[in-house]
Amino acid sequence: MARFIDGYVIPIKKKDLKAYKKMATLGCKVWMEHGALDYYECVGNRLDSPFGIPFTKLCKLKPDETVVFAFIIYKSKAHAAQVTKKVHSDPRMNPENFKSIPFDMKRFTVGKFEALVRAKS
């Protein structure tokens, strides 16, 4: 079966990772409760790869920043739409519940992806 993925790249100040993790933990709980198949929030560890454009350059990271690479997996595009609709209507995800967002929304990016190659263990 094909898979559909929401993917995120989020430059973030290292000092804000604790606040981001709290927000991401809630997001994980809500997305999974509403039917996402899998949910990942990954923080940069080695971003200076000699292959391609390093994340440090791609995201124009400052010395006090890193990047979060996150993705949510769904059964299909239709399933993603169903889950996302439920998440967006969940009162726990109301923007008023978040005093501040721990990253710059002007530098955040998201995309929708269809799985091209997939391995199953």
Count CB atoms within 10 A of the CB of residue 9: 17
- Return the pLDDT at 109: 96
Is 32 domain-assigned?
A: yes
| pTM for this prediction | 0.92
pLDDT in tens, 91-116: 999 878 877 889 998 999 999 999 99
CATH code for the domain in which residue 93 is found? 3.30.70.100
Is 121 domain-assigned?
A: no
The C-alpha atoms of residue 25 and residue 22 are separated, in whole angstroms, by 5
pLDDT in tens, 26-48: 999 999 999 999 999 999 999 98
Residue at token pair 């890193």: 66
Q: What is the extent of the structural domain holding 22?
A: 4-114
DSSP string covering 10-77: EEEEGGGHHHHHHHHHHHHHHHHHTT-SEEEEEE-S----SSSS-HHHHTT--TTEEEEEEEEEESSH
Is 52 domain-assigned?
A: yes
